[in-house]
Structure 1
Amino acid sequence: MTLNSIFQFLVPKDKKFYPLFEQAVNKLILLSETLHEAINLPSKEREEYFKTVETIENDIENIVQNIRIELSRNFITPFDREDIHSLITAIDDVADFMNDAASRMRLYQVDKITKSIRKLTEVNVETCKQIGIAIYELKGMKNLDTISECCRVINKLEAKADKIFDKAVADLFENETDAKNIIKYKEVLSALEAASDKCKQVAKVLETITVKYS
C-alpha cells in the first residue's frame, strides 16, 4: 500500500467538497446544454434560454465561493488544497466564457446562427459531460484510469474546437463583407473557443490529481 493510499484510508469520508464539486459540474453540463438548445431555436425564442444561462452561471459562482469558504475552514481536504482551488476555478472559467458567448449574442443581436457556432456549442456540451464523468470518479480515487480517459477525450475535443474556430474565422474574413458582422461573429466564436480552452485546463488539473494519487 502506497503512502497516498494509507493517507486516503485514514482521512474521514468527505461530506463537504465532493457534493459541491458534483453540484458545480451538474450546473456546468446544464449550462452547456441550455446554450446549445438556445442557438437551435428561432431568434425570438432564445431570450429566456440566455437568461437561464446567466442564472446558472451565477449559481456556479456561488458554489465556487462556497468551496473557497470550505477551504478556509477545513484543515483536512480530500486532495491538495491548491488542486481543489485550481479545479474549481477552471470549472468556473468554462461557465464564464459560455455565459460570455450568450451575452455577446444578445448584445450584438446575432440572429443568424452559423454552422460553426452550432459545432462549437455541441463540442462544449460533449466536453462538459466528460468533465462530469471525471469529477464523479474523483470520489474515492479508485477509478483513475477512467479519469485519465476523460482527460484524453477532453483534450481531443479541445483540438477539434480549435480547428472549427480557425476555419470559421478564416471563412468569416474571406466571405463576410460587413465589418460589423465580422466583429460580432468573431467575438461569439472567440468566447466559445475560450470555453473549450478552459475545459482543457480542467483536464490538466485532473491529470495532476491522478498522477499524485496513482
Structure 2
Amino acid sequence: MSRDDKFQKLFEKQIEFAVDAATHLHAVFSDAEKAQAAEDRVLAREHEGDECTRQGHELLSKTFITKLDKSDIEVMFKKLDDILDSMEGVVRRIRSHSVKQFTPHSVQIVGIIMKMTSELQAMVAQIQKLSSQRASEIVGILKALEREADDLRWGCIKALADNVSRAVKSQDALVLGIAQNEQYVWEQLISKLEQTTNHCFHLAVTIVGVVRKEGR
C-alpha cells in the first residue's frame, strides 16, 4: 500500500469513528437505558481517533512527496480530530453535571450531527476523485444544517432565559436557583453541540479547498 493510500485509510477510519460516535451520542440523548454504554463508546471513539491522528503525523514526518499537499493532510487530520474532540466534550459535560434529561433542541442538534458526519463520510471516501462542483454542493448541504443547529442553539438559550424569568417572578429562591443552574449547564452543553456542527462544516470547507487545489 502506498503512503498516499495509507493517509486515505486513516482519513476514512477517523470519519468512520466520527459517524459511530455521532450515532452513540444520539443514543445518549434519546435512550436512557443505553446512555452509559453509549457515552463510553463516544469516549472510546475519540481515543481511537487520537491514535489515527498520531499515526498520520508520524507517517507524514517520514514522507517527502505526497499526492495531496502535506499542509492539507495535516489540516485534514486536525479537522477530523476536532469533530471527535467536540463530541467527547459533550459527553464530559453531561457526566460532569450529571445531566439525565435533555432538551428537544439538543436532541435535534445531535440528529443534525449524525446527518453531517454521514455526508462527510461520503465526501472523505471520494476525496481523491471528488469534483469541485460536487464538493461545493455538499458544503451547501452542510452549511444549511449548521445554520439549523445555530437556530436551535439560540432557541434553547431563549427557552432557558424565559425559564429563569418565570422563576424570578415566582419569588421562590429554590425554583430560581434550579432555573439558573439549568441555564448555566445547558448554555455550555448546547454551545458545545453547536460547535460540533461548526467543526463538521469546517472539514467540508477544507476538503473543497483540497479538491480545488487539485484543479478538479
Asked if Structure 1 and Structure 2 have the same fold, meaning a TM-score greater than 0.5 normalized by the shorter chain, the answer is: yes
Task: Please state if 1:20 is matched with 2:10.
Answer: yes
After superposition, the CA RMSD in angstroms is 1.5
1:42-121 paired onto structure 2 within 5 Å: 42=32, 45-121=34-110
Distance 1:123 1:142 in 2: 23
Q: What letter corresponds to residue 161 of structure 2 in structure 1? A: F
Aligned match of 1:188: 189
Aligned match of 2:170: none
In the TM superposition, residue 142 of structure 1 has moved relative to its aligned partner by 4.7
**Does the CA contact (< 8 Å) of 2:123 and 2:130 recur in 1?**
no
Q: Give a deviation string over 1:20-40, Cα, whole Å, max 9, x none.
A: 111111111000111001211
Q: 1:209 to 1:127 in 2, by over 3 A?
A: same
Q: State TM-score, norm by structure 1.
A: 0.89
In the TM superposition, residue 145 of structure 1 has moved relative to its aligned partner by 3.2
Distance 1:148 1:137 in 2: 13
Higher alpha-carbon deviation: 170-179 or 86-95:
170-179
Distance 1:107 1:45 in 2: 18
In the TM superposition, residue 76 of structure 1 has moved relative to its aligned partner by 1.6
**Does the CA contact (< 8 Å) of 2:130 and 2:211 recur in 1?**
no
Aligned match of 1:3: none
Distance 1:199 1:158 in 2: 8
Task: Please state if 1:201 is matched with 2:189.
Answer: no
**Does the CA contact (< 8 Å) of 1:137 and 1:143 recur in 2?**
no
Q: What letter corresponds to residue 208 of structure 2 in structure 1? A: E
Distance 1:45 1:156 in 2: 30
Q: Give a deviation string over 1:52-87, Cα, whole Å, max 9, x none.
A: 110110000110111111111111222111111111
Which stretches of structure 1, 4 residues or more, deviate above 6 A after TM superposition? none
Partner SS, residue 15 of structure 1: helix
Higher alpha-carbon deviation: 168-177 or 63-72:
168-177
Q: State TM-score, norm by structure 2.
A: 0.88
Distance 1:78 1:147 in 2: 19
Identity %: 20
Distance 1:84 1:60 in 2: 15
